A and B are shown apart, each in its own frame.
Chain A
């Protein structure tokens, strides 16, 4: 481990805090309406305490410039699509509208992928995509998972990649809608409605996703990523070897894949492929894109409930879990594999599946980000990580991807943990729990627990079936306990809507294409629809003023309790499976056992 490798983890968290403030402040201006903000008085008059007027003036100025260009487009879309943006929706209507746009998005993508061989912009003459792969891919990109059961540069035409990009815009925007529905549960009171889905959807798309993706593309091209529509380039090297270089519209896809926490890359090896991740400057910029909106959601929430301290408490819990994970991965990777170290080379770090320009430190940082901000974009081969580094990645996903998480989804997952944390605290002192002025009762706890139970059921049941039946076993690449880790990782990634993989697993086989598809659907809808219901129930409640007996939720004590809830409730259920996979492999590795 080097000091640079450790320092960069903390620097990234500093960047995330700045992003939270700036992007969150901007999103607040774009998305929140009058009724969406809790009155500062009921929040204890602290809402305005940490505002910096100059920064807000600048953010406001940028927004008003964008308004002039975007507002006409917004109104055009409302007119063409027949949307009344002022119509308030109950949680059920809001949820059905969300499901409708995802259902149609899925159907259109599935059909268009099926037509690949007949459509233009296919200079490499890619043939028909297998049925299971296009089904899995359509689910994958609609649910913001971007699990890739195919190698992009060897399977898809440029036009098919463009159809995926459409869902890379729409699926994260759906996540923000989920978040707004839940956040309004806390910020509103005594109302049956949670806002208008279409307005939230269109405004997030036009003000956040599109401008961000355009800026992202320009920077990524400047830093080295290609953006063209040529056929693959054929060259003869100075040694006289022939090489075919796959290229294409790489930057425009990489930009939205990182900004939207999608993670589905143009190339098989994602950001590790040097055109997608040409240098560390580009990779750091991709981290900034990835952290922008998830961090922003935290601050946005603080503004909506008019108590910024609540937002920083949640940020702190996430940052502590992030830093701990990143340091652990880095430590395990720097210590390396004792079996290889016994060969006495000049060094002992684990370089298997890592790129020279990123090194051990930044690769570890990036892979920890892969599974926390839920983008599933990789710059190193996760299958080749040391067992306990792999375990950290599994932990990040199995706890529901709440350490920052993807657009909106991570934040509401963490809010579900917060509800559970105040419930546990309430049990300890024997008081009715409350969070942000809302009484937490049986229904809220049930919905939160439901969201947390989904990953455990899906991962454990599907993994258990996969390791006892033929088609499941046939898809495993690495023998021994590592094989179980591969399977656990696949379903954790699917249900967590992550999309990264232990790449050895045969994800294109019908068994895994179908079962990971099911995991992705349950991970998106069975997990988050209950949370919209939670929002609906909270919005209907009266607001109760804070009293001396109220458990404060902005203190280090609460941060500790929240972290404890994530670790204990989220991860303990997986301990037996993890003991048979990564932990068993770690023990075997130190005993020098090979499989």
Chain B
């Protein structure tokens, strides 16, 4: 290795740092902000003038009147600043304990549902801990609870699901799913049009929700849906 080789390499690497490191990142960012501003800024969802999350990032929903997402292994759950999987192996005691505990919790929150109606995806944690979606089976098994808590008919809640279905890409790639945040915003709209008083299952039950104050389900200033 000659000193000439090292000198050539140094110049190449420093040029790369400037152009491939910094200029590339800034140029792509500038382009994105002009051409695809919504995606570039994280596909944020606005509700009643406020940003209420990203369509792509799962949120922690625990109220009975909302569809709930998959178990999250981040700390705390749905920590969007530190994605993480459980990394539990198939013969790890903890895995089985966690799944059993989630089944019990689900049965308690969803009276009338039996264990053999619960899809595994709803009691097994996702990869990122931020899965924004659930499968159709995950959604349908929650219908009775959501309908009861929101004073909506089961048919209305089912309609919320069917209107938000995302199919397989090109018919074969991936999995059919529904986005939890999109469905929950649709639930708020359905409650508003049905004249249900603000918040049976989605608000009045919950102390933290009423604490936010500024969200009124009857006024929807544009939940973005793509």
Contact = CB atoms under 8 A, between A and B. Distances in A.
Interface of A: 4-5, 7-8, 11, 77, 80-83, 96-97, 99-101, 103-105, 108, 112, 124, 151, 153-154, 158-159, 162-163, 165-166, 169-170, 198, 201-202, 210, 213-214, 217-218, 221-230, 232-233, 235-241, 243-247, 249, 251-252, 267-269, 272-275, 278-281, 283-284, 336-337, 339-340, 343-363, 378-381, 383-387, 477-482, 485, 502-504, 585, 588-589, 593-595
30 contacts: A8-B172, A80-B15, A153-B83, A165-B21, A169-B20, A224-B56, A227-B40, A230-B41, A244-B79, A245-B81, A267-B83, A267-B128, A273-B83, A273-B128, A278-B56, A279-B166, A281-B169, A343-B100, A346-B118, A352-B86, A354-B121, A356-B175, A358-B174, A381-B86, A384-B86, A384-B95, A482-B91, A503-B87, A585-B89, A588-B91
B32 to A, nearest CB: 4
Contacts of A249: 25, 28-29
B197 interface: no
Contact of B12 (A101, A217, A356): A101
Nearest to A277: B128
B127 A589 contact: no
Interface string B46-60: 010011111011111
Q: Which of A169, A278, A345, A386 has the most CB of B within 10 A?
A: A345
A141 to B, nearest CB: 12
Interface in B1-57: 1-2, 4-17, 20-22, 24-25, 28-29, 31-33, 35-36, 39-44, 47, 50-54, 56-57
Given A221-B32, A249-B28, A357-B175, A337 B20 contact: no
B206 A268 contact: no
B131 interface: yes
A97 to B, nearest CB: 5
A280 B10 CA distance: 40
Nearest to B5: A100
A81 B5 CA distance: 10
A307 B217 CA distance: 68
Given A227-B40, A281-B169, A482 B5 contact: no
Contacts of B120: 336, 340, 345-351
Interface stretch (B134-142, B145-153, B157-165): B134-142
A244 B83 CA distance: 11
Contacts of A358: 174-175
Contacts of A124: 81
B78 A268 contact: no
List 8 tightest A-B contacts by C-beta distance, closest first: A359-B175, A280-B174, A381-B85, A272-B127, A504-B87, A482-B89, A227-B32, A478-B89
Nearest to A255: B28
B78 to A, nearest CB: 7
Contact of B85 (A7, A228, A247, A353): A353
Nearest to B24: A252
B129 interface: yes
A378 B83 CA distance: 13
Nearest to A284: B173
A343 B99 contact: yes
Contacts of A244: 79-81
B82 interface: yes
B155 interface: no
Contacts of A352: 86, 88, 90, 95, 124-125
Contacts of A241: 59-60, 78, 208
A226 B29 CA distance: 9
Contact of B53 (A243, A251, A336, A502): A243
A380 B127 contact: yes
A383 B85 CA distance: 9
Given A337-B90, A384-B90, A478-B88, 13 more contacts: A4-B171, A124-B81, A213-B24, A214-B28, A224-B39, A227-B29, A245-B42, A336-B120, A343-B99, A354-B121, A357-B177, A381-B86, A504-B89
B143 interface: no
B85 A269 contact: yes
B190 interface: no
B110 interface: no
A353 B127 contact: yes
Contacts of B81: 124, 153-154, 232, 244-246
Interface in B59-106: 59-63, 66, 70, 78-93, 95-96, 99-100, 103
A238 B53 CA distance: 8
Contact of B90 (A202, A235, A283, A482): A482
A346 B137 contact: yes
Contacts of A284: 169-170, 173
Interface of B: 1-2, 4-17, 20-22, 24-25, 28-29, 31-33, 35-36, 39-44, 47, 50-54, 56-63, 66, 70, 78-93, 95-96, 99-100, 103, 115-121, 123-135, 137-138, 141, 166, 168-175, 177, 181, 184-185, 188, 202, 206, 208-212, 215
B17 A233 contact: no
Nearest to A267: B83
A222 B226 CA distance: 12
B24 A274 contact: no
B41 A247 contact: yes
Nearest to B115: A344
A275 B22 CA distance: 21
Contacts of B58: 274
B71 to A, nearest CB: 10
Nearest to B129: A269
Nearest to A385: B90
B59 to A, nearest CB: 5
B9 A101 contact: yes
A462 B118 CA distance: 43
Contacts of A273: 83, 128, 130
Nearest to B171: A4
Nearest to A336: B120
A272 B128 contact: yes
Nearest to B40: A227
A439 B11 CA distance: 40
Contacts of B92: 478-480, 482, 594-595
B103 A343 contact: yes
Contacts of A105: 9, 13
Nearest to A249: B25
B80 A351 contact: no
Contact of B40 (A228, A360, A477, A585): A228
A174 B9 CA distance: 12
Contacts of B116: 344-346
Contacts of B25: 158, 162, 165, 249, 252
Contacts of A283: 173-174
B190 to A, nearest CB: 14
A426 B47 CA distance: 72
A170 B15 CA distance: 12
A240 B209 contact: yes
A233 B9 CA distance: 39
Contacts of A344: 115-116
B20 A347 contact: no
Nearest to B187: A238
Contacts of B14: 108
Nearest to B36: A221
B119 A274 contact: no
B89 A166 contact: no
Nearest to B125: A352
